């Protein structure tokens, strides 16, 4: 009996440690990305941030499946995400776009890192309220990876043939500003649908994951950057539509709640006949 209990304790300890291993591996690839960006190896630096994002997903998944989530793990995950999806993408953009300019354009990288920190701090504050179907504000993971996969996209034949003439330095500055504001906004972004085979929603979620996996393996350079931009634009467009609809509902409710003056015809006749 004692041997069985000891064995269960050891298994339990291993299960508890697994999410933290994924988190520290996430930190490893985020730090390595910054080293490669400083050396000018932008292609690998970009994909290491994506690998960090995959490890971040596995971290949360393993914690939920094993039911070993803890306050320590949540704080460690937040600190690591700040490095991998706040600082690493900002450093990558600095060496890729702003370093040759010798101006104060690096401020855009700093602003992105600041907004990522604010986003993560707000997420930690709201994480005690339970699981939600949507994110409030663009997740820092999505924002960081959207920036990271820009350089691989520039190496595709489609980009070099059709898009290379565009003013990408200005476009990327605008994109960094948009991503920074989206992270600290109240715009809701949908989570990836859950995987399942028993319900139609679960099957749809499985289909979405398989499509992303297929393109991620065979067409990753040309697929991820447009997908990231689409996800960001979708959230902003959805938030704008919902804001207009809610404003219309509020105005209609205000009209309905206004006191209405009703004069009955009999009361008016009686008032005129009285001396």
Domain boundaries, given as residue ranges, for the chain: 2-273
Average pLDDT over residues 45-61: 89
HEC readout, 50-83: HHHHHHHHHHHHHHHHHCCCCHHHHHHHHHHHHH
pTM over 0.75: yes
- CB proximity list for 232: less than 8 A, separation 6 or greater: 138, 142, 143, 146, 178, 179, 182
Q: How confident is the model at residue 264 (pLDDT cuts 50, 70, 90)?
A: low
Q: Looking at residue 69, what is its pLDDT?
A: 61
**Which token pair is 231?**
């996800």
The percent of residues in the chain predicted with pLDDT above 70, rounded, is 76
Q: How confident is the model at residue 270 (pLDDT cuts 50, 70, 90)?
A: low
Q: Looking at residue 127, what is its pLDDT?
A: 65
Cβ atoms 20, 62 nearer than 8 A: no
CATH architecture of the domain with residue range 2-273: Up-down Bundle (1.20)
Q: Looking at residue 102, what is its pLDDT?
A: 66
User: What is the spatial distance between Cα 24 and Cα 213, in angstroms, rounded to a whole number?
Assistant: 24
Q: What is the tens place of the pLDDT at every residue in 179-223?
A: 999 999 988 888 777 776 777 777 777 788 788 888 888 888 999
User: What is the spatial distance between Cα 157 and Cα 8, in angstroms, rounded to a whole number?
Assistant: 55
Q: Looking at residue 1, what is its pLDDT?
A: 52
Instruction: Check whether 176 has a pLDDT greater than 70.
Output: yes
Q: What is the tens place of the pLDDT at every residue in 230-247?
A: 988 888 888 888 878 877
For tokens 């995400």, the residue is 81
The percent of residues in the chain predicted with pLDDT above 90, rounded, is 42
Q: What is the tens place of the pLDDT at every residue in 114-156?
A: 999 999 998 888 765 555 677 888 999 999 999 999 999 999 9
Q: Looking at residue 15, what is its pLDDT?
A: 45
Q: Looking at residue 131, what is its pLDDT?
A: 52
- CB proximity list for 74: less than 8 A, separation 6 or greater: 124, 127
Least confident window among 34-38, 43-47, 72-76: 72-76
Distance of CA 109 to the CA centre of its chain: 17
User: What is the spatial distance between Cα 275 and Cα 272, in angstroms, rounded to a whole number?
Assistant: 8
Least confident window among 31-45, 81-95, 146-160, 214-228: 214-228
């Amino acid at each position: 009996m004692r041997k069985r209990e000891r064995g269960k304790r050891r298994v339990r300890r291993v299960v508890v440690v697994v999410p933290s291993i994924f988190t520290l591996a996430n930190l490893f690839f985020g730090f390595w990305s910054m080293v490669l960006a400083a050396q000018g190896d932008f292609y690998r630096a970009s994909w290491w941030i994506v690998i960090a994002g995959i490890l971040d997903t596995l971290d949360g998944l393993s914690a939920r499946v094993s039911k070993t989530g803890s306050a320590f793990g949540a704080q460690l995950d937040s600190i690591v995400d700040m490095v991998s999806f706040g600082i690493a993408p900002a450093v990558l953009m600095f060496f890729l776009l702003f370093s040759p300019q010798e101006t104060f354009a690096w401020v855009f990288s700093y602003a992105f890192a600041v907004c990522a920190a604010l986003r993560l701090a707000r997420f930690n504050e709201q994480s005690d309220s339970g699981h939600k179907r949507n994110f409030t504000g663009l997740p820092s993971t999505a924002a960081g990876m959207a920036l990271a996969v820009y350089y691989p996209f520039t190496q595709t034949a489609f980009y070099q043939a059709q898009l290379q003439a565009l003013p990408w330095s200005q476009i990327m500055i605008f994109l960094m500003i948009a991503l920074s504001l989206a992270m600290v906004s109240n715009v809701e972004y949908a989570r990836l649908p859950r995987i399942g085979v028993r319900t139609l929603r679960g099957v749809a979620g499985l289909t979405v994951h398989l499509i992303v996996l297929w393109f991620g393996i065979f067409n990753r350079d040309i697929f991820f950057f447009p997908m990231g931009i689409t996800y960001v634009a979708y959230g902003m467009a959805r938030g704008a539509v919902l804001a207009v609809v809610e404003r219309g509902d509020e105005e209609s409710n205000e009209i309905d709640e206004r006191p209405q003056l009703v004069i009955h015809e009999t009361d008016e006749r009686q008032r005129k006949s009285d001396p």
